[in-house]
Amino acid sequence: MGYNALLERMGAVNDLLCAGSMLSWDARTMMPPGGADTRAKQMATLKVFARNHLVADETRRLLDAAEAETANLPEDSVERTICTQVREAIDYHLRIPAELVQRRAEMGSKGQHIWAKARAEDDFAAFAPVLEATLELNREMAECIGYEEHPYDALMYRFEPGETVASLRPLFAALRAGLLPLLRAIGEKEPPRVDFLERPFPADKQLEFALNMARKLGYDTNRGRLDLTVHPFEISFTRNDVRITTRVNGEWMPKGLFGTLHEAGHAMYEQYCDPAYTRTPLATDLIGLYAVGGVSFGAHESQSRLFENQVGRSREFWELNYGELRDAFPEELAGIDAETFWRAINRVRPGLIRVESDELTYDFHIMLRVDIEAALIDGSLKVADLPEAWNAKMKEYLGLEVPSDRLGALQDVHWSSGQVGTFCNYTIGNVMAGQLFAKAKTDDRVSRGLAAADYVPLREWMTEHVHRHGRRYTREQLLERATGRGLDPVPYVEYLTAKYSAIYDL
Ligand code: ZN
């Protein structure tokens, strides 16, 4: 009785979070701007209800009973894993006073207004007090959550459980050692031509083609849909309804296409979770309070990056699919062959803006932010010195001068919304994608499929080793089971080296 009753109660938490996600999807796609204030309140209310339902005495009573009932099952059984996760989530939320959660939410909405104005006016000093307050609040948060070595570890826990400043240091060092020489060598070479990608491509045809490709990779539109938004995202309301959005851009055609493939990669993680986990804690982020099944933000990002970059920007993919693209855009792509297209979509161009950066330079934007965030949190970097530290790293990594803070330390929305600790998952996702794809390709069915534009075996491999498990295993357990080892940057560095050596003739 205890275990099933606990599951039913956790199902209600998932329902509340899914309802909140639906309000969020609507707010970002359909809602008229006037709805913003009341919608924010509705979403906050649902989240508070979900949290309170989770930590309520009744849940704890059911959890005690469920633990007693399942005590004789193996420790790694689904039942005991769920009990452990619910216990951990309750402990986590009870360590953070409701008053602190409330203060963070309030600061987030105020902070974004100030940040938007400061960015528009290129006025870092106007934003500095918001950042100062955000850091203080996050330090308080870290003390409540608890950590062994570095307060930043506590802040990453919500997004990338188990990751620490100490574990990121060797990872980043390996990436810098592997990728900086590559970047320098590319800098000496002639860039591929890209002019044809800047032509206007009709928006409706772009969307149609992108969705066809997403379907081909495995995105199930019977349980999903694609809409247009300014900022692309993926969002799910159980595995049975997983939606994505993209933007189409008049000046840079790859944005809409690869944005779609990226979000479709996220979506498949949710769509192919084990149906038995639906509405359970294994498909619910009980720490961050989101109805998502991926085991960490990094693991989630591994699936989006894998389908967007490792598959979608590969030479093999365009040798096989370029004909379809040219049929859709015969005038825009007149005179352009598959090889030219493939080189163009992989152009490396160090830039100042993270969200516009290419596959090779992206991780440098992330390393810069993670190092700076950790130093801001432990106080070794003062807010007033942030722009200087930022600009120095930009110069060191990408060789660029930062002409204004608008294009530097003021560019991201994250800090103004009160969030610290979210950046590392992008790079972890890239590294995981490298590992998983290298391993998947050693499977004959997968490699034969890739060579014949049949992506079902690859999707099935990912489902077998990643998607279906939802939150059952930790990220490291998932990687060990799938590839035989924990997070390892070697396959990712090898992949980038091989790809760019071919493109740039290194
Ligand atoms: Zn993503």
Residue 334 makes CB contacts below 8 A (sequence gap 6+) with none
Q: What is the pLDDT of residue 117?
A: 94
CA of 359 to the centre of ligand 1 (A): 13
Active-site annotation holds for 234:
no
Task: Tell me what percent of the residues of the chain surpass a pLDDT of 70.
Answer: 100
Q: What is the pLDDT of residue 419?
A: 87
Q: What is the pLDDT of residue 180?
A: 96
Token pair recorded at residue 465: 């080793």
Report, as ranges of residue numbers, the positions in the chain whose pLDDT lies below 70. Answer: 1
CA of 304 to the centre of ligand 1 (A): 6
Q: What is the pLDDT of residue 112?
A: 86
Q: What is the pLDDT of residue 109?
A: 74
**Other beta carbons within 10 Å of 216:** 18
d(Cα 7, Cα 164) in Å, to the nearest integer? Answer: 31
Q: Which of 263, 270, 308, 373 is catalytic?
A: 263
For the chain, give me the number of helices (H) and strands (E)? 20, 3
CA of 280 to the centre of ligand 1 (A): 23
- How do 234-236 and 226-228 pair as beta strands? unpaired
Token pair recorded at residue 302: 């591994």
CA of 267 to the centre of ligand 1 (A): 10
Q: What is the pLDDT of residue 105?
A: 80
CA of 384 to the centre of ligand 1 (A): 31
This prediction's pTM:
0.96
Return the exposure string of 344-358: e unless at least 16 CB atoms fall within 10 Å of the residue's CB, then b: bbbbbebebebeebb
Give me the residues near ligand 1 (ion), CB cutoff below 5 Å.
Answer: 304
